[in-house]
Amino acid sequence: MRYYLSLAWAFFQQQIKIHMTYRLNFFISLTSTVTWQTATLAAVWVVLDRAPVLGTWRREETFLIYGLITVAGAISRTFAFNLFFLGGMYIRPGTFDRFLLRPVNPLFALLTERLSPEGMGDLIVGAALVARSFAALGLAPTSGRIAYLILAVCSGALIIIALNLATASTAFWIVEATPLMLALNHNTQVARYPLEIFSKPLRLILTWVVPYGLASFYPAEFLLGRATGPMAFAALPVGCLLFALAYQIWLRGLRHYSGTGS
């Protein structure tokens, strides 16, 4: 474990150096993502300004949900964005073979090869939105709340990464899994809003099938004192279970992989 942590830190530093070599490109990517997220948030702001209450959730409470899922997604996008390129950039041309020759886990090698500046832009917007919601709602940043916030967003990121890994691994059979991954990731937009405004079947799907709600709605409920039950802490065990299942799909895909023959 210590070996992989030291390698991950070394690869992270190397990726930062690579991005800083082309600083203008890095900051353009960062700025464009922040601009896109801000524009999307502005559109949501206009809607909530017209309808400031969704179900029983006020506007600032809804923005807390929005911020939580944005931060969780940003962590996933920053550190696991390379999953989107598994089929098109690695399996199709056969360059995935080099991961099999390295003395590390192939999944670890894949994830650490790319650090996404766009994810960092999402992180800036999401963190700013959570901080603003805390201030607007009068939530004091106590050590307990900060610790829970870190646990919630990291657990949410684990859920998103696990779902992406499971869908990305289908590239070992179908080669190009990006459309499937994009379709799944678009569902995070639904998790920006209170689950109570949706129908019961959709609430069940967003809680247990594609559990993005565990990364946003239920943590927001806990932070606001609306609920203190086990659902507030379900993201971590569910995320671990999903990742374990996704990793088994990955391993089966590796056994199916035979290279391009070129």
Tell me the residue type at 213.
G
The fraction of the chain above a pLDDT of 70, given in percent, is: 98
In tens, the pLDDT along 238-262 reads 999 999 999 999 999 999 887 655 5
| Ordered DSSP codes for the chain | -HHHHHHHHHHHHHHHHHHHHTHHHHHHHHHHHHHHHHHHHHHHHHHHHHS-EETTEEHHHHHHHHHHHHHHHHHHHHHHGGGGGIIIIIITTSTTHHHHHSSS-HHHHHHTT---HHHHHHHHHHHHHHHHHHHHHT----HHHHHHHHHHHHHHHHHHHHHHHHHHTTHHHHS--HHHHHHHHGGGGGGGS-GGGS-HHHHHIIIIIS-GGGGTHHHHHHHTTS--SGGGG-HHHHHHHHHHHHHHHHHHHHHH------
In tens, the pLDDT along 103-113 reads 899 999 999 98
Taking residues 88-116, report their average pLDDT: 90
Average pLDDT, the chain: 89
> Is 74's pLDDT higher than 90?
yes
pLDDT grade, residue 223 (50/70/90)? very high
In tens, the pLDDT along 126-185 reads 999 999 999 999 999 999 999 999 999 999 999 999 999 999 999 999 888 888 898 888
Q: What is the pTM of this model?
A: 0.91
pLDDT of 260: 59
